[in-house]
Amino acid sequence: MIICYSIPQIIIYIFKLKLLYLLGIGPNLRHCVFCDSEKGNTLSLLNGGLVCNNCKGNIEKDDILLFGEKVSFIRTLYYLDLKKVNNLNF
């Protein structure tokens, strides 16, 4: 899947992600929300962050999940230095 966004769209997404963290409600993108494993690869919106393969049984049926490239894209945006946005090749 190829993700194509304009620079203004990317800046808005980065701003929104960083604002969520400043408000104290940003998703946990560092480790599994259940066991603190750094191998979280699924983003669970109801649980507020990453979930590893071992803890997927804790996910509720009505949860909204993001996988693979979408999770990588969100992580990239969050950790991206805004000074480097003009050098992006999405």
- Residue 90: per-residue pLDDT: 53
Structure tokens at 80: 């991206």
pLDDT value of position 24 = 92
The predicted-structure confidence for 21-72, as pLDDT tens digits, reads as follows 999 999 999 999 999 999 888 999 999 999 999 999 999 999 999 998 899 9
Query: How many Cβ atoms sit within 10 Å of the Cβ of residue 86?
Result: 7
